[in-house]
Structure formats: C-alpha cells, structure tokens
C-alpha cells in the first residue's frame, strides 16, 4: 500500500481538470482510469469562451489553433433564425480526441501520477482498491461519469432525475459554412453543428426518442440537409444517454463527487466543461482549507445558472408552441437573444437578466 493526498477516479476531461487543480495547489495527486487515452464520448465538442477562460485560470492552455474558433451562437428553426456574438471572446470547436491529450499532457507536466488501464474495485475508509494495489488517500474524487461507482460506494447515490434524452454524434467532412455554433430546432429534437476544423463539422442529434438516429432526423431539417449536401461522414455514429440529475449532496467524509458524477445539466447548454474547470478550482480551495463543505456550497452555486438555462431550453424542446413563439420573439428582438447568450456565458448579472426575461416573456405571451 502507498499513500497519496488526492486520488482521482476518472481520466476524462473533468477528472484531469480536478487532478491538475489539486496538483497546482501542492497536493500529491494520483489519477486512475480503466481505459487508456484518448477516451471517447459523444459530446458537442464546443468550448464556450468562459470554458477557455476557466481552463486558463487553472494553467491549462488550449490554443485556438487546435480547433476552429467560432464567434457566437446561431438558433435556427424552420421559419426563423437569429444569431449573436459572444461578449467575451471566441469559443472553440475542438475534437475530444484532441482535447483530452492536451489535458493529459498538462496533468503529466503538473506532476500528476497517471494510472491508465487501472480499474478501481472499491473504496473504504480512505483506501482505494485497484485490484493489484491499495492506495490510502486523504481525499477521494469521484470523476467517473454519470453512472458513477464512487457515488454508489460512498452512499451519495440519492438524486432527483429531471430529464432523460439521447445524443448521437457524427463528424462530416465539409468546410464550415458559418462562424457560429448552430442549434437547429425541430419538433422533437435538435441538431448541434460545431465547426471543429477548416474541413470538418461535428453534428450532434439531441432527442427524446431513443430509436431516432442522425439519418432518421436529418430529413426533418431541410436547410441543414441542404448545407450538408456533398459532405460525407468521417466517423461512425456514437451515442450517449443524457440523464439530468440533481443530487442531495456531492460530498461525504473525505469523498467528493465531480463532473457528471456530481449531478449534471442537460448537454443542450454546452456548459459541461466550463463547470468542470470552475469546480476544479473550488475543489482545490476546499482541499487547501481542509473543508469539503466549501466545495459543497460552491457546487450548488455554480449549477444555478446552467440549470436555469437548461430548464428554459428544455421547455422549448417540449413545447412546439413555446419554441415557435420564442424563436419569433428572438428574431424580432435580436438584442434579447444577445442578452440571453451573455447570461449563458456568465456575462450578464441576474438583475439585468430579470429585466431581459420579463421582456422576453411579454413578447412570447403577446404573440
């Protein structure tokens, strides 16, 4: 048996961010994952400007040259479209298979001990069992995804389920036709289009129908289908089950849940990585203070804005009438959309947002 200060279970972007933040705070950190990088997952592959800022604050450099910068968000429906630029710089479309090696390198350079192909068998009384080895840790971080084993082992598996949806991703070889990340709204699903290079876009279907696939849904989006004409897929379709959970607690004793393991918001927000980077800094501060209640409080606070935005967008997903009226209001008052986007990336105060939300509600209700 050997000792470490922080044991991180999970080598995805969230776990790597937590490990980097803890190591930069002076702790000995060991990270283990049953897989070996790059670890793939179906995601939208778009980093919002606040994600890049939060990463930089952890000392993680993600060069814009690694992907494709985009200037804002564009909403498009059958009859309306609206776009707005980010108020705080560009976002970045970046393949996950490129992002994760960048984070692995940053973790290694920071001095994190990385143990790949190392499945964890259990945790008990501050000791982590990896099968052939046991590690005593001062703190244990469960960053092992939405189906977290650490959450179950530590007795934190009590949650309220808000929604469940399915996502399916494919990459298409075609030059991006827009400087924006696009969200195409349909009656029962949405398509995300993120430019990830000068020759490739990432296409993600978000749907409540577990049987629907990219090829099934595309004919319902004639404008998007037309733009993809002449392109061809360069990756196979990869799916994921997106469950939104709200946990009662994310800490117990010396265990802290992190990233998707700690309760998540619907992927429609695109804020998963920003949350992970922000939470990593908060967790490291809690380690410094030897008080995980600080992380518990910070975790609740950080989730308020993205959960609010997710609830709003999921209402648009569930109600065709609300979706149509909201898109019409955004098109008629593009400033409202710009302010909603500013709120989304943390650049609008709650007081100002209350005024914007009231104005949007009035326009939607009076159509």
Return d(Cα 134, Cα 120) in angstroms, integer. Answer: 10
pLDDT digits (tens, 9 = 90+) for 180-195: 999 999 988 999 999 9
**pLDDT (0 to 100) of residue 266:** 73
**pLDDT (0 to 100) of residue 181:** 96
pTM higher than the cut 0.85: yes
Return d(Cα 18, Cα 299) in angstroms, integer. Answer: 13
Return d(Cα 357, Cα 367) in angstroms, integer. Answer: 16
Count of Cβ atoms closer than 10 Å to residue 199 Cβ: 13
Tokens representing 307?
A: 């959960």
Per the listing, tokens 């265990």 go with: 255
Q: Across 198-258, where does the E strand assignment appear? A: 200-207, 232-233, 238-247, 251-252, 255-257
| pLDDT band, very low/low/confident/very high, at 173 (cuts 50, 70, 90) | very high
Q: Between 74 and 211, name the one with better pLDDT.
A: 74
Tokens representing 218?
A: 């595309």
Is it the case that residue 1 has pLDDT exceeding 80? no
The residue ranges of every structural domain in the chain are 2-45+95-158+248-311, 162-241, 319-365
CATH number for the region 2-45+95-158+248-311 comes to: 3.50.50.60
Q: Do 162-241 and 2-45+95-158+248-311 fall under one CATH topology?
A: no
Return d(Cα 131, Cα 152) in angstroms, integer. Answer: 18
Q: What is the DSSP string of 57-124?
A: HTT----GGGSEEE-EEEEE-SS-EEEEE-TTS-EEE--HHHHHHHHHHHHHHHT-EEE-S----EEE
Q: How far is CA 38 from the centre of its chain?
A: 17
Is it the case that residue 5 has pLDDT exceeding 70? yes
pLDDT digits (tens, 9 = 90+) for 281-302: 999 999 999 999 999 999 999 9
Domain 162-241 has CATH 3.30.9.100: yes
Is it the case that residue 265 has pLDDT exceeding 90? no
| pLDDT band, very low/low/confident/very high, at 162 (cuts 50, 70, 90) | low
**pLDDT (0 to 100) of residue 314:** 86
Cα separation values, 341 from 71, 187, 269, 273, 338, Å: 12, 22, 11, 17, 5
Whole-number percent of the chain with pLDDT over 70: 98
Q: Between 76 and 307, name the one with better pLDDT.
A: 76
Taking a C-beta distance cutoff of 8 angstroms, is the pair 282, 298 a contact?
Answer: yes
**pLDDT (0 to 100) of residue 351:** 83
Whole-number percent of the chain with pLDDT over 90: 68
């Amino acid at each position: 048996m050997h000792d470490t200060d922080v044991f991180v279970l999970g080598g995805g972007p969230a776990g790597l961010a937590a490990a980097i933040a803890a190591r930069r705070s002076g702790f000995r950190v060991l990270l283990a994952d049953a897989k070996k990088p790059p670890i793939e997952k179906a995601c939208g592959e778009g980093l919002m400007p606040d994600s890049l800022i939060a990463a930089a604050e952890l000392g993680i450099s993600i060069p814009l040259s690694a992907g494709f910068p985009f200037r804002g968000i564009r909403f498009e429906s059958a009859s309306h479209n609206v776009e707005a630029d980010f108020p705080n710089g560009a976002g970045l479309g970046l393949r996950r298979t490129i992002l994760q090696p960048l984070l692995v390198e940053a973790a290694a350079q920071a001095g994190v001990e990385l143990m790949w192909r190392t499945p964890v068998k259990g945790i008990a009384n501050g000791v982590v069992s990896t099968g052939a080895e046991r590690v005593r840790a001062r703190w244990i971080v469960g960053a092992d995804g939405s189906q977290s084993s650490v959450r179950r082992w530590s007795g934190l598996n009590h949650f309220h389920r808000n929604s469940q949806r399915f996502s399916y991703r494919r990459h298409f070889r075609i030059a991006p036709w827009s400087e924006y990340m696009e969200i195409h709204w349909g009656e029962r699903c949405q398509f995300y289009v993120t430019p990830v290079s000068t020759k490739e876009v990432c296409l993600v279907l978000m749907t409540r129908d577990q049987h629907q696939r990219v090829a099934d849904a595309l004919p319902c989006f004639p404008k998007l289908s037309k733009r993809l004409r002449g392109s061809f897929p360069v990756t196979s379709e990869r799916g994921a089950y997106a469950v939104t959970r709200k946990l009662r607690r994310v800490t117990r004793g010396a265990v802290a849940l992190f990233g998707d393991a700690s309760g998540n918001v619907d992927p429609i927000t695109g804020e998963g990585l920003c949350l992970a980077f922000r939470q990593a800094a908060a967790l490291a501060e809690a380690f410094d203070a030897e008080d995980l209640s600080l992380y518990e409080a910070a975790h609740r606070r950080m989730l308020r804005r993205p959960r609010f935005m997710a609830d709003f967008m999921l209402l648009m997903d569930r109600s065709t009438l609300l979706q149509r009226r909201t898109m019409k209001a955004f098109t008629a008052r593009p400033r409202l959309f710009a302010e909603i986007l500013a709120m989304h990336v943390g650049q609008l105060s709650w007081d100002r947002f209350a005024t914007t939300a009231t104005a949007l509600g009035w326009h939607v209700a009076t159509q």
